[in-house]
Amino acid sequence: QRVLRLAEMCRRLETDDEKVLPFYLSSLAWHEQQDARRVLEEMPTEMPTEMPMAQAVRDLVGLERFWRRFNKVKLEEQALEKHQVTLSQRNLWLRERLRQYLAGFSVNQEVLKEPNTL
């Protein structure tokens, strides 16, 4: 219950895009979505000792938005880490090219003593 209340409180902090647009469509097929809705809407037929489990499953449905957002953030984090690696490699490559370029411009006594290749 506490987590659900916190999720409701955090809902106020969402941007308009987050409130209006879903992050992604469900990965379930249409008939699987219908089956899941039907199961959730039916009254539990379990024994009274199993009722808390059925209630827990219903409560988890309320956290669906949280898990979508959590997974979206994790995917973005992994994408940014890969992008950072790519940029670091590109940075090293550019630094090496710049070092070679500047070495070609350096004029010292040794360079002046060598024959001009031009």
Which pLDDT tens digit goes with each residue over 76-105? 999 999 999 999 999 999 999 988 888 777
Q: What are phi and psi of 67, to 5 degrees?
A: -65, -35
Residues 16-45 have pLDDT tens digits of 777 665 555 565 667 766 776 776 666 555
The model's pTM: 0.49
Give dist(CA 38, CA 44) in Å, integer.
11
pLDDT in the model for residue 94 = 97
Residue whose token pair is 């959730």: 40
Give dist(CA 40, CA 57) in Å, integer.
8
* Dihedral sign for Cα atoms in the order 52, 57, 62, 65: positive
pLDDT in the model for residue 45 = 55
Give dist(CA 78, CA 112) in Å, integer.
52
Residue type, 100: Q
